[in-house]
Structure 1
Amino acid sequence: MGELRYIAVNEIEDKKINIFGRLGKVRQPLPLLFNGSAVEVRINGSELWIDVETDSDFHEPWVAYELNGAMMGRQMLLPGRHRICLFRNMDPGTCKTVRFFRELQAMSEDDRCKVLVHGFELNGDFQEVTKLSRRIEFIGDSITSGEGSYGAVTDTDWLAMYMSASVNYATMTAKELQADYHILSQGGWGVYCGWDNDPRHNIPKVYEKVCGLVTGPLATELGMDEPYDFSSWQPDAIVVNLGTNDITAFSQPPIVNPEDGLTYKQRVNADGSLNREDELKVENAIVAFLKMLRKNSPKAHIAWCYGMLGSYLNLTITEAIAEYRKETGDNNVSFFQLPNTTMETFGAHMHPGKKSHENCTAALVHYLREKMNWF
């Protein structure tokens, strides 16, 4: 084959590139904002390199790539510009499909963390990619961020290397259903509050921005703090997997919110049951979030999926869904019980491991096939 030539991302025809994940106005270089955010190309030729720029403070971004649907590499990237070989010395006459993606969630605790794809070097030509007509949006917490999907059960450090999109029920479900997807998730966050009772850590407050999880100069530069254009990508199904941190908050000590100076605590009664006043805070947050989702995605089926780390909030969630249906008359919303993680299927940091994500994928794929008539 001939010499390598450089092609920027924005020079690739739309029919010859797939981009996964939310985007704002900035497209060159292409920001991969969330775990699972990816760029996919199909080329002939014998060699392909990708030009990536990264930065971070403490949580170094991890990336990975697949070749013809098979996982081929996963690595941490230190701050700087990187030229990564995706394949070489392959048969130039055959077409290869490569998907390069961000493993690490958007980092609310590291405003410098970024992954930008500038372009590719190749000695072949870009070919048309398969465009996926089905669309699924996944919204969640550390489970949807793939925390614990890599690492040993004995590993308890909270580090970027244990999070992933490659071993993750969201991306695996999308792949099985041949669907395009978006992921918006953040470890420790809930629908009402974070695991530690922090009321600032709820997904609904950031949902309507491009990537409201990140603040500071980088967010402004990449347009992450701007309103997201929902008309640019409408999902057929929305999978919400929130509640695990909301129930955890009931067993955690109070927290003082530095923004208003008030103390927050989700309480339990003397018999161990949830304080009804505080449980209603969660229910009301669910109802409000469902209304927000419906406003922005009028036709999508919304499936609230829960249970990979216990089902303690089942009744609260189903009561909220019933109240939402009563208030709005919208019955295009459902609840689905996910398979629980067992001692045999845990991963690192007492989170679902690979087998748990596989079990969840199998159940969710079956459910969505039936619900969406995707056969």
Structure 2
Amino acid sequence: MTPTSCRRSRTCRKSSASSSTSRTSISPTSARKGSGSPRSSQQPPRSRTRSGTRQALTSTRCRSRAKRCCARCARRKTGDERRSELELLRPESAEAASAALGNGSVALAGGTELVPLLRDGIVRAEKLVELRDVVPRGVDGTRIGAGTTLAELEADPEIPQALREACSLAASPQLRSMSTLGGNLLQATRCWYWRLKFPCYLHGGDVCHAKAGQHREHAIFGNERCASAHPSDPAAALLALDARLLTTARELPLAELYQLPTDDDRNVTALEPGELILELEVPQPQASVYLKAMERRKWSFPIVGVAAARFAEGIRLALAGVSPIPWALSSVDALDQATPLPGTVYKVQIARALIRRAVEAVNAPAGA
């Protein structure tokens, strides 16, 4: 078998390099016999750019399990490495999708949240229930389908500015083109202890490992039992906008979708098993804005996100990245009630500055 039959592991490249040298080296005698000009026997210099026909070295595994160039290319397959088989269900209605959930089945919308959780073994499933064709998508006045992508929302001039800005600041363009609004509202924490499957409070344990460990990106509110921080930008914007949800079972304010974990219930959402978010009713404010502090200028989860919306009754404020759930502030002064950990005190100062800017923005005259 020639070396090109493998995508070349380090061992293969070493052996193929020596083999290739032995085939292409040309003695001076053979060069003179092959051509009257020495230049005709010389190989052209290798281009610095990759040839259009040259194969990219993208994997250390062989292309075919039946043919391997060396023993080290063979991947040993153990019981733990065997892939579990997933069945994909495509129901014809939201009611059928809801009925199909449970007993090893989980809902699949955009997949940007679920697929990594499945890959890392945090979520286990036997069946995926695809929601693409059964959950409403698009904007109709003040109603937004839960299947609408963040990319569609950030480009729609009819929805409130705070929601547009929150969607445009979430993730990367590729992820926003797939991520649905409903899925984004239900995304899990980015706490590394939870992601690494430590036996933390959200996983059913008795300890929040972040409190005694690394917690620079964690909560400053609602962190009595769990100090994780909710990562959704649109959730904070919708909370400030006083949005309401329509599910397969009921209608409720967005604020009632979320709950702090307790000893009896470690979930941070109040959805019943099989309950799906279908639509959101989003009122139009007089003015709104979403401001975000993050590690990078783009495509990063919020250190602190601040949403402000001005209605006739007053200004509503909500924060992202500061609590296990999106956090509503009753007033600017409510920030004084924060309970930061030693490593998150700086978040209070960031939140204070962003709140001041957000309030100034929504109180500014139109067109200013």
TM-score, with normalisation over the residues of structure 1?
Answer: 0.26
* Structure number having the greater strand percentage: 1
Flag the structure with more relative contact order, 1 or 2, with Cα contacts below 8 A and sequence separation at least 6.
1
TM-score, reference length from structure 2: 0.26
Indicate the structure (1 or 2) with the bigger Cα radius of gyration: 2
